[in-house]
Amino acid sequence: MPVKIVIKSGSRSEMIDITPSVQDEISRSGIKEGACIIYVPHTTAGITINEGADPSVCDDIIYKLTRLVPKNENYTHSEGNSDSHIKASLIGSSVTVIIEHGSLVLGTWQKIFFCEFDGPRSRSVYIKILKED
């Protein structure tokens, strides 16, 4: 059964480091070897792995996505958030991370980020932990 965590975003577009929350769920599970799937069930939000040491990297990603997919274009979707849907499609809705010795296997600078494109909102993120046979 997947675990659901709730993320509260504070602005229309932002990247929120959820690595500690994911690691907490792995620790709680007691699983030492396996994999972890992190999934976002929203059409205007995404999930990615990227550098977490320098916050300007997230700022640059948001900046470039905003330039590539501006909010006010000639979109036909009536809710006014087509840009958010497009950005979420570009980023993706899930990532899978290996678990070794009870810890996420991430590179030195890597973190797992929830990507909000239509906030502020309260969002769900699902974590499924798979045990290695």
Q: What is the CA radius of gyration of the chain?
A: 16
Going from the N-terminus, what domains does the chain have, and what CATH number goes with each?
Answer: 3-131 (2.60.120.460)
pTM for the structure as a whole: 0.96
Query: What does the pLDDT read at residue 87?
Result: 98
Q: How far is CA 82 from the centre of its chain?
A: 19
**Unique residue bearing structure tokens 């006014």:** 80
Side chain identity at 19, as an amino acid letter?
Answer: T
Q: How confident is the model at residue 1 (pLDDT cuts 50, 70, 90)?
A: confident
Average pLDDT, the chain: 97
pLDDT in tens, 111-121: 999 999 999 99
Helix (H) or strand (E) holding 14: strand 14-17
DSSP tally for the chain: helices H, then strands E: 3, 8
